[in-house]
Chains A and B, each alone.
Chain A
Amino acid sequence: MAEIDTSGGGGGKHGGKVRAKKLSTKVDLTPMVDLAFLLITFFMLTTSLNKPKAMDLNMPKKMDDKKVDVKESQVLNVLLGKDDVVWYYETQEGKMTDMKQTSFGATGVREVILKKQRRVEKAFGHDKSVGDKTIVLIKMAEGAKYKNMVDILDEMDITQTKIYAIQDIVPIEQETIDHDGKVVAGKE
């Protein structure tokens, strides 16, 4: 009642020794987890996930003396024009036929190439895989975009066309495209 408590904090009974309170060693980790997930979210959103890929492109070496014997019915000429338009034609007896117009994608130029492959297959057979005797000549007309070039090279891969080449466009071909694919008379 009238005593004066001389002991410290808690341990009055044990000879006046001062004892620190035992604190739990457990820490609440919830804020730390919050922070970690916040950082993860930040990194995931700021990093661009699409790693750039690359496609191989082989250009022919210049060999003037080496000529490959090719039948004209093996060859399909594909011309890339402006506004994602694809023109194609074949030659008959050294003469250009009227160009036809198509588009990119499965129902467009891919179908054209696959049909051509089947016709070449019927006429010439094949060496290793279907259509490996088909030759596609790719030419860039006025106004073609780089995207079109990549797309057509992609089509070569999809249709498994083994022999293809990117060539310079001939003036007559450009002229024909300008005339909506009709061969200009006397200039074929």
Chain B
Amino acid sequence: MPKVKIPRKSTSVDMTAMCDVSFLLLTFFILTSKFKPTEPVAIDLPNSRSEITVTDAIKISVDKNGKAYINYPSAAFRLHALAKMGEIYKDKYPYLVNLTDKQKAVFGQVETFGCDARALPDLLTKKPDEVSKITTGIPMDSADNQLGDWIMAGRYADVDLNHPSARTAIRIAIKGDKTTDVKAVQQVIKTLTERDIHTFNLITTLAGASKREAAPEN
């Protein structure tokens, strides 16, 4: 009886296609990922079922201890806002008027900051990393509401930079920690409403929840 010989096939597979796919995925992930901005404090966001995404906004962070921080969208925006602070509120913040170019450059690199404006000129002589570690918070009580001034400076900067003629105001978003006392957030809201900003966003993370569950009978 003749033996049927099965031809031996090579076990090595052509890896080219696999390589193509994996690098495609890699490229995709690298291009779509965004580096987490450096923040003075970690903020644990509350959950909600809202699905609106906010991209360009002045973000006001409120940490666990109720301290406020501000985050402008870009470096150019930060520089412009700083210039506006010196321009509009030059009587209130005379020390912000004559900053050196080096100090301004440092401010441009600090993504989120939270400190008293009085301490700012001194801090800006240090490295950006050190400035973004300051967690004293921006004062926002009614006697010395610097947060409100920073917000207004941001809005003026936005007009100059993005909408010289038409007016679609930049969004303001509040980023509060889950465990923050609601009073601190309400103070931020009060600061906004006092400046005629009545529409803003609360930044949250998405949580799964069903829409309008079966209503219980009474």
Q: Tell me if chain B binds chain A.
A: yes
Chain A residues packing against B (C-beta within 8 Å):
28-30, 32-33, 36-37, 39-40, 43-44, 47-48, 50-62, 80, 106, 110-111, 114-115, 118-119, 140, 143-151, 153-154, 157-160, 166
Chain B, Cβ-Cβ closest to A49: B33
Task: Check B19 against A32 for contact (C-beta < 8 Å).
Answer: yes
Chain A, Cβ-Cβ closest to B205: A50
Known: A53-B51, A118-B215, A154-B50. A149 touches B185 (CB 8 A): yes
How distant is the Cα of A148 from the Cα of B178 in the complex, in angstroms? 8
Q: Which positions 191-208 of chain B face chain A at CB distance < 8 Å?
A: 192-193, 196, 198-206
CB distance from A64 to the nearest CB of B (A): 14
Task: Check B204 against A54 for contact (C-beta < 8 Å).
Answer: yes
Q: In the assembled complex, which residues on chain A have CB atoms less than 8 Å from the CB atom of B19?
A: 29, 32-33, 36
Interface-centre pick from B26, B177, B183 (highest chain A CB count, 10 A): B26
Known: A53-B53, A145-B180, A147-B179. A59 touches B29 (CB 8 A): no
Chain A, Cβ-Cβ closest to B192: A59
CB distance from B105 to the nearest CB of A (A): 29
Task: Check B46 against A54 for contact (C-beta < 8 Å).
Answer: no
Q: Which 8 A-B pairs have the closest CB atoms?
A: A29-B15, A36-B22, A55-B50, A54-B201, A147-B178, A146-B180, A150-B46, A47-B33
Task: Check A33 against B50 for contact (C-beta < 8 Å).
Answer: no
CB distance from B72 to the nearest CB of A (A): 17
How distant is the Cα of A36 from the Cα of B114 in the complex, in angstroms? 40
Known: A54-B203, A147-B46. A40 touches B212 (CB 8 A): no
In-complex Cβ contact of A55 among B48, B183, B215 (8 A): B48
CB distance from B155 to the nearest CB of A (A): 17
Known: A59-B193, A153-B202. A146 touches B179 (CB 8 A): yes
Main secondary structure of the interface of B (DSSP, over half): mixed
In-complex Cβ contact of B201 among A47, A57, A144 (8 A): A57
CB distance from B16 to the nearest CB of A (A): 6
Task: Check B213 against A43 for contact (C-beta < 8 Å).
Answer: no
Task: Check A150 against B198 for contact (C-beta < 8 Å).
Answer: no
Encode contact with A along B34-57: 1 for CB under 8 Å, 0 otherwise. Answer: 101000000001111111111000
How distant is the Cα of A146 from the Cα of B63 in the complex, in angstroms? 10
Answer whether residue B216 sits at the interface, using C-beta atoms and an 8 A cutoff.
yes
How distant is the Cα of A32 from the Cα of B198 in the complex, in angstroms? 55
Task: Check A53 against B212 for contact (C-beta < 8 Å).
Answer: no
Task: Check A55 against B202 for contact (C-beta < 8 Å).
Answer: yes
Answer whether residue B97 sits at the interface, using C-beta atoms and an 8 A cutoff.
no
Given A36-B26, A115-B216, 11 more contacts at CB 8 Å? A29-B18, A33-B19, A40-B22, A40-B26, A54-B204, A114-B216, A145-B181, A146-B182, A147-B46, A149-B182, A149-B185
Q: In the assembled complex, which residues on chain B have CB atoms less than 8 Å from the CB atom of A30?
A: 15
Q: In the assembled complex, which residues on chain A have CB atoms less than 8 Å from the CB atom of B18?
A: 29, 33
Answer whether residue B123 sits at the interface, using C-beta atoms and an 8 A cutoff.
no
Chain B, Cβ-Cβ closest to A151: B46
How distant is the Cα of A61 from the Cα of B198 in the complex, in angstroms? 7
Answer whether residue B168 sits at the interface, using C-beta atoms and an 8 A cutoff.
no
Task: Check A52 against B49 for contact (C-beta < 8 Å).
Answer: no
